Structure 1
Amino acid sequence: MTDPFLLPEPVRIWAEKTLGALVPVRDASLDVTLRSSWHVVRAADNARFVIKIARTSEGFTQETFVHRHVVSALGAGSAPRLLATLPSHLALLLTDLQGIPLPDLQVKVAALRRIHWRSGVLVAKLHQAGEATAGNRQEADTAVLRLAQDARLHLDVVGDRLSVEEQKLVAHLADRLSVLGGLPLGFVHGCLERGLVQGPQAHLSLRDFETAGFAPVVVDFARLACGPWLAQPHLRLDFFNGYGRGLSGDERLALRALTALHAVRRLAADGKEPGHRQTAEDAHAVLARLTKEVPV
């Protein structure tokens, strides 16, 4: 029986043709239903690389495009380098930029504030990479409208886990989001919370671009608002100081709505098992904070 944690043989053979003999490795992911990712070591010099197999052909195509045409805008060493691809297996061979995702960092407050400032600088470079087309604008507006419409579906799933006031807040913000148009576009990452990592010597980089593409830039901030910014709001200010601008009124409204929708979506995805209590507590905390904010 094939071990699902081992690098598939055709992919290993392909990688060794490019790199030379590799030390046997196992899947770095604990959940084999997620995207597969292997940290591999070259036997000759112990150099480290990453082999990724995309979940879908669309994800493979998108991440390949980003590495070939976008990441150069971030500056040297700010993203892994793409060395080769194997389209038949949706595989990408990348340099390994080791690092710890932002939510997992355990550093002093002053250091964390500097990291979020530098994160803002780096994300601004990504958002400004490339120029959106009229087609990108139409797709982005449609995607935002779809997110607003999905809110009703999520509320149907988790309604009994939210108070009446929380349900009204989410529904109200979704309605406001559905009529917003013309939000500033940029090339967004899609999952900044896990994509931003700090490596050795406090070097910051971005990785995992399979969900990247043109969208309203504000969509990149919702996960951070539900994560590190929730407990430490000053980090949000530090981030936008590095980003180089604050949000417009419409963007602030959109971020409130997207933050609420993300919290409810996570609640719906995690189910009702006792082990997901932290997700429920986080969702209630997000909605409580949004309730206290001055409406736009």
Structure 2
Amino acid sequence: MSVRDASHDWDRSRVWDLEGERGVHHYLKVSPSQKFFTRESRAYRHVVPALGHTRAPHLIDSRAQDLVMLLTAVPGTPAKQLGLGGAEWRAVHQQAGVLCARLHEAGELERGDRAEAAASLNAAADGAEKYLARTGDRLTQDEQRLIRDHAARLRRVGPVPVGFIHGDNQPRNWLWSEQGLALVDFERTRPAARVQDFVILATTQWADHPDREKAFLLSYGRKLSDAEQQALRCLTALDAVNCLAWGPANGDDEVTARGRRTLDRLMREVRP
């Protein structure tokens, strides 16, 4: 057996690619926390099977005391790394919309899950002050005011559809191959407002490519409701301040740039 480090480029990521007889691959993952282990192992048992046999890894075994999971491998390369053209990106988003819909509709939420999902937008709004405190002087007074205003608006958007979300729904977790698209990395999968799964896409992929958004939502099966559209705008503002708190603190220029770009766009829309 050969072992290759397959961790992401952050210090709490611990994943190994295990290649056994006849080139069969498995992945050994050590979760960064008990919360992530609980979310991901539960997702593999109760939510991920709804995606289909080849559309996500499957959990072979787990060891809770060590936060370890042994997973099957699925074919493909992260879409982000492939240098895809416009038509290829639309095809990727079309399949992502299908898989996202399956995930969001994967079974009835239990009572506790439904309560957690119903509270998820307020929980997101609650994080605004924490992230604002961490940004220090990187935001102007007007920018801080905009963040607080969107946090307050988020609390007033009203009921939106809920379900299990992926939680980190973006092309680095979409594996693309000749067999189609597969989703990976379910450590943030949880009951929440479904629209929360579109925030990173809205601030990156869809910001300059509305054709990709159109392809995604067409295969997702419906347009976003007015309440979801309002929530998404507010959530992008909160994502911006989160990025501007986390990115500089962790030396992640890409995340920092995402936050700055989103915040600049929102400021222009408020004050053209």
User: TM above 0.5, one fold?
Assistant: yes
Q: Say how many residue pairs are matched.
A: 270
CA spacing shift, 1:160–1:225, aligned 2, 3 Å: same
CA spacing shift, 1:156–1:247, aligned 2, 3 Å: same
Q: CA deviation at 1:206?
A: 1.0
1:210 aligns with 2:184: no
Any residues of structure 2 matched to 1:247-266 within 5 Å, and which? 247-266=224-243
Tell me the TM-score normalized by structure 1. Answer: 0.82
Aligned partners of 2:42, 2:262: CA distance in 1, in Å? Answer: 35
Aligned partners of 1:72, 1:30: CA distance in 2, in Å? Answer: 24
Kindly name which structure, 1 or 2, has the bigger radius of gyration based on alpha carbons. 1
1:35 aligns with 2:8: no
Q: CA RMSD in A?
A: 2.4
Aligned partners of 1:240, 1:32: CA distance in 2, in Å? Answer: 31
- Residue in structure 2 matching 1:286, options 247, 256, 262: 262
Aligned partners of 2:253, 2:139: CA distance in 1, in Å? Answer: 13
Q: Is the 8 A contact 2:122 2:155 kept in 1?
A: yes
CA spacing shift, 1:103–1:31, aligned 2, 3 Å: closer
- Residue in structure 1 matching 2:61, options 84, 109, 112: 84
1:245 corresponds in structure 2 to 222
Q: CA deviation at 1:257?
A: 0.9
What letter matches 1:28 in structure 2?
A
Q: Is the 8 A contact 1:28 1:38 kept in 2?
A: yes
* Deviations 1:114-159 (CA, angstroms, capped at 9, x unpaired): 1111110110000000112343232223332122122123223326
Residue aligned with 2:182, SS: strand
Gaps spanning 5+ residues in structure 1: where? 1-21
What letter matches 1:288 in structure 2?
D
Residue aligned with 1:140, SS: helix
* Deviations 1:163-202 (CA, angstroms, capped at 9, x unpaired): 4443332221111012334221011111111564233205
- Which gives a bigger RCO, structure 1 or 2 (Cα 8 Å, sep 6+)? 2
Q: CA deviation at 1:74?
A: 0.9
Any residues of structure 2 matched to 1:69-218 within 5 Å, and which? 69-158=46-135, 160-193=137-170, 196-201=173-178, 203-218=180-195
What letter matches 1:106 in structure 2?
G
285-294 or 122-131, which deviates more: 285-294
Gaps spanning 5+ residues in structure 2: where? none
CA spacing shift, 1:278–1:95, aligned 2, 3 Å: closer
* Deviations 1:233-272 (CA, angstroms, capped at 9, x unpaired): 3211221111111111111111111111112101101227
Residue aligned with 2:39, SS: helix
Q: CA deviation at 1:277?
A: 5.1
What letter matches 1:188 in structure 2?
I
1:221 corresponds in structure 2 to 198
Aligned partners of 2:126, 2:100: CA distance in 1, in Å? Answer: 28
66-75 or 183-192, which deviates more: 66-75
Aligned partners of 1:268, 1:104: CA distance in 2, in Å? Answer: 26
Residue aligned with 1:50, SS: strand
CA spacing shift, 1:35–1:165, aligned 2, 3 Å: same
Same amino acid, percent of matched pairs: 37
